[in-house]
Amino acid sequence: MISRRGFSLARRHVPLALRAACLALLGLGGCNEPTGLELTAEAIASCPGEEATETQTQAGATMLPGRVCGACHRSGGQAQNSPWTLAGTIYSDGSAKCNSPGQAGVTIQVLYTADDPMGRYRKNDVQPGGTLTSNEAGNFYSTGFFVTPLRIRVFTGPSDQPTKEMYMTTLVGLDPVTKQSVRVDCNTCHNTTTPRVYL
Ligand code: HEC
Ligand code: HEC
């Protein structure tokens, strides 16, 4: 069972021994601990100086905009039942704060960066499952598996005649050292040093 409850900062002080007992008694996932921001310095660090609001800490699609979703949504994380392969938040301004209003209805597309040697797809085609739409918090996320590295396009309006459109030059999703595909958390890079993802 996946817990859909909100979680609160107040839970941070539950003693470890008690958590362990709780997990042992109820089994993983049957227990509501630990489910808080307390274990995710990474999530907090992606929005320096900003407290998440009560609403933002309700687990679900509009939760914690601007934060590094994969701090929790990954194997071994608090939300390991929903491990996003790609996730982020889009704003209407690159200097937006995490808690600024996100932008809904923007299309985020994951494109191939090379032709398939077997001829099944071409460079810049959209990958299967690679069209996402930002929700009312500006959030978007996917559990899809993509061919890396990825090229990213964001736009509004029709695909062939976008109202606004941007491409990221940097290719993502492939670790340059290990050559392994890795989780793409847009909010890891797009926070204080690189402008927020915006359109
Ligand atoms: C501090 C940890 C944390 C962060 C950061 C976080 N989440 Fe969550 N999220 C959870 C927990 C815990 C749940 C509930 C358990 C679960 O669904 O795995 C959850 C649930 C969800 C769900 C419901 C999943 C389902 O299967 O119904 C969605 C959608 C979601 N989060 C999206 C996001 C997005 C998008 C981001 C980033 C903008 C994000 N979350 C950031 C902890 C987090
Ligand atoms: C590894 C760090 C990193 C990740 C991860 C990342 N980006 Fe970027 N992004 C950058 C950098 C650096 C730039 C500026 C240079 C460029 O265009 O590549 C950028 C630029 C962009 C631009 C163009 C902005 C402009 O003003 O032209 C868009 C759009 C964008 N990113 C969207 C995304 C989305 C959506 C994701 C997640 C799917 C993402 N990025 C993930 C580092 C990253």
Ligand 2 atom nearest to 88, measured from its CA? 37
Determine, yes or no, domain membership for 45.
no
Select from 31, 53, 82, 185 the residue to mutate for testing ligand 1; criterion: most ligand atoms less than 8 Å from CB.
82
**Ligand 2 midpoint to CA 64 (Å):** 20
Ligand nearest to C-alpha 151: 2
Our answer on whether the CB atom of 188 is closer than 6 Å to any ligand 2 atom is yes
pLDDT of residue 19: 43
User: Is 11 part of any domain?
Assistant: no
3-state SS of the chain?
CCCCCCCCHHHHHCCHHHHHHHHHHHCCCCCCCCCCHHHCHHHHHCCCCCCCCCHHHCCCCCCCCCCCHHHCCCCCCCCCCCCCCEEEECECCCCCCCCCCECCCCEEEEECCCCCCCCCCCCCCEEEEEEEECCCCCEEEECCCCCCCEEEEEEECCCCCCCEEEECCCCECECCCCCCECCEEHHHHCCCCCCCCEC
What is the rounded distance in angstroms from the CA atom of residue 87 to the CA atom of residue 65?
10
- Flag whether 43 is in a domain: no
Domain contains 19: no
**Tens digit of pLDDT for each residue in 107-166?**
999 999 999 999 999 999 999 999 999 999 999 999 999 999 999 999 999 999 999 999
Region 65-71 average pLDDT:
96
Question: Please, which pLDDT band fits residue 39 given cuts at 50, 70 and 90?
Answer: low
CA of 156 to the centre of ligand 2 (A): 17
Q: Is 126 part of any domain? A: yes
- 86 touches ligand 2 (CB under 6 Å): yes
pLDDT band at 30 (very low <50, low <70, confident <90, very high): very low
Proportion of the chain above pLDDT 90, given as a percent: 71
> Ligand 1 atom 32: the closest Cα is on which residue?
61
Is the model's pLDDT at 9 over the cut of 80?
no
Q: Whose CA is nearest to atom 16 of ligand 2?
A: 169
Sign of CA dihedral 158, 128, 108, 53: positive
Per-residue pLDDT, 193: 85
pLDDT over 90 at 6, yes or no: no
pLDDT value at 180 more than 70: yes
How many domains is the chain built from? 1
Lowest model confidence (mean pLDDT) among 17-21, 49-53, 105-109, 135-139: 17-21
Query: Residue whose CA is closest, atom 1 of ligand 2?
Result: 189
Q: Is the pTM of this model over 0.75?
A: yes
Residue 97 pLDDT level (bands cut at 50, 70, 90): very high
22 domain residue, yes or no: no
Q: Is 40 in the pocket of ligand 2 (CB under 6 A)?
A: no
Ligand 2 neighbour 184 (Cβ under 6 A): yes
Higher-pLDDT residue of 14, 153: 153
Ligand 1: residue whose CA is nearest its atom 39: 69
Predicted local distance difference test score (pLDDT) of residue 22: 38
Q: Is 31 a domain residue?
A: no
Q: Which ligand is nearest to the CA of 136?
A: 1
Residue range(s) defining the domain that contains residue 181: 64-189
Residue 73 placed within a domain: yes
Ligand nearest to the CA of 86: 2
